[in-house]
Structure 1
């Protein structure tokens, strides 16, 4: 397989298509996309590659046989590996030979975690530390809010559970920015920060985040993705609606987050750009990744038409903008863009 390249800013700006099939023609010069998605209705991983001749190659990569519900993804392009959270198997698995696996073939498993998770959603990785967010209720009491962060240490092909943190809020998306872990406070418009996560949150039990703030303009956030100092936060709005979603583009995120006092609100004016509306195809955008080099936002949209993988190359314009990449994927639950 050829080495995958990234879209340049000028090339990706010319990309506009909507497709449901494989190998569809697009316009643009020297285009190659390296994009992966999980699905709640399949344990498989879908790989999208846009070739420099304008064709879109879609590969379905099979995971271990018993996995029927895939969630969070992490890609290590240097090692040619992809790690997926399996909700059906209640564990995490790392697969090798990512670029060399053909459409319809099974990925080679490199490392597997213990089958101990409840309802895992996302994964964040910092070095050999693998953190999984889990939104299963801990104490079985619906009147209390308590979810988990499972912390694993990877050593070659082995995952060892280091500790389990019980949160006092519902979790979904998580993202490392340096050594700091940011977490979505599900069912709200808030984001929590766990400062110097590896060193400050080493024991099992209930732990409060270092800081927690609200994001003005968001109804219910789910996904978050950061690159080059810019954070993208998704808004699923009403979970029963397939058309009221959106995302917020926040440059210089860490500085803006730090400037808001604990419990405060980051205002929209002067701080954020919102993308939402009927042209976006956003209903329940549950996962997001961002590439600062091409200024492209990648979205896993769960509700609209049963699931879509979307890309927006002009998010700074804001408002009701159409995606440049729009591909149907049943049960789309997670998306990740990898730079070689």
Structure 2
């Protein structure tokens, strides 16, 4: 069912972007390169009410800026380069929010990022978002307020907000999602499974089933995922025991599409087909989200439990181990990440 949200609240406010010395350097400014290249990590927080933006143009000299979010408890985040906008899901008021003029704000610190659209969603427990063209997919986790029902909400962006196009229910708990064309990958929360929905947008409203669901051997409880079609690489996080801040892990599956195709529905991708890092050196406790750079092959993790929230970066790995992160920075309540490079 399509719902026109043109009558929803559209708020305009200005939130100043503050440059801060949270980085590994003492730089006062976060100037963009003259050629306009961007290599930025966008970070949501579910405690601080801030968006952190990390400039990884030079990984040895990372700078961080912060700007106010539309709410203290935020999760999924995305950067739309074509429109130079940040899209963020805010759980504080169950809203989707659009912030404009990102690149200009970084190049000229006197210009502020503005919250141009603030649209109340139809979800009550949104977690992650995935964006394909003008479609935004929200993954909703099960809570008492929604009858313990997980759902996907599919919105189309318009000049005045978001229009709800479809609502799909699933019979398992959702958390992280990633969309690649018309294929959506979804974490099966509280489990070690990955669900794949082919021709996702072709579904009719109501209950839908994944085209394939597979178990990832060795995972305890997945939360975050990302997929690189260019490298055919699937990256999954493992939070382990949610009450522990030291038992998390990170799994890489190379040649993923072939391995997935060779695994039957309900089957398992074995540990021998993966590479996994975990242990005391990694600082992984509750890694709740992950992003990947195809240029540098760096892996970025939103670590929620260790130290109250961190952003960790790891070099690409092909074997099991317990490496230290190549980058680590405290970010209070780090809950979601999105990486953009151009």
Question: Is the TM-score greater than 0.5?
Answer: yes
CA contact (8 A) 1:112 1:157 kept: no
Structural mapping, 1:99-118, within 5 Å = 99-101=103-105, 107-118=113-124
Residue 104 (structure 1) shift:
10
- Give the corresponding residue for 1:24: 24
Q: Distance in 1 between matches of 2:193 and 2:58?
A: 40
Q: Tell me the distance in 2 between the aligned counterparts of 1:105 and 1:301.
A: 31
Q: How does 1:1-340 map to 2 (within 5 A)?
A: 22-25=22-25, 33-50=39-56, 52=58, 55-64=61-70, 67-101=71-105, 107-137=113-143, 146-199=149-202, 201-203=203-205, 205-227=206-228, 228=230, 229-269=232-272, 271-340=273-342
Instruction: Compute the displacement of 1:193 (Å).
Output: 1.0
Match for residue 7 of structure 1? none
- Measured on the aligned residues, the alpha-carbon RMSD in Å equals 2.4
Aligned residues: 310
Q: TM-score, normalised by structure 1?
A: 0.85
Deviation at 1:242, TM superposition (A): 0.4
Q: State how far apart, in whole Å, the 2-side matches of 1:162 and 1:191 are.
A: 25
Partner of 1:287, secondary structure, is strand
Q: Which runs of 5+ in 1 are unaligned?
A: 1-19
Could you list the runs of 5+ residues in structure 2 that have no partner in the other structure? Answer: 1-19, 27-32
Tell me, in whole angstroms, the C-alpha distance in 1 between the residues paired with 2:307 and 2:129.
26
1:58, 1:336 → 2: CA distance?
Answer: 14
Within 1, Cα distance between the matches of 2:44 and 2:110? 15
> 2:105 is paired with a residue of what secondary structure?
coil
1:290-315: CA deviation from partner (whole Å, max 9, x where unpaired): 11221111100000011100110132
Q: Whole-Å Cα distance in 2 between the matches of residues 138 and 181 of structure 1? A: 26
Corresponding residue SS for 1:242: coil
Q: 1:288 to 1:53 in 2, by over 3 A?
A: closer
Deviations 1:160-204 (A, max 9, x none): 0012111100000000122100100000000111111111x232x
Cα separation, 1, equivalents of 2:67 and 2:161: 22
Task: For 1:311 and 1:54, locate their aligned partners in 2 and report how far apart those are by CA, in whole Å.
Answer: 12
The alpha-carbon distance between structure 1 residues 190 and 116, as it changes in their structure 2 partners (threshold 3 A), is: same
CA distance 1:253–1:231, shift in 2 (3 Å): same
Q: Note if contact 1:43-1:86 (Cα within 8 Å) is conserved in structure 2.
A: no
Q: So what's the TM-score if we normalise by structure 2?
A: 0.84
Is contact 1:44–1:62 with CA below 8 Å preserved after alignment?
yes
Q: Deviations over 1:283-334 (max 9, x none)?
A: 0000001112211111000000111001101322431011111000111000
SS of the residue aligned with 1:34? Answer: strand
Q: CA deviation at 1:138?
A: 6.7
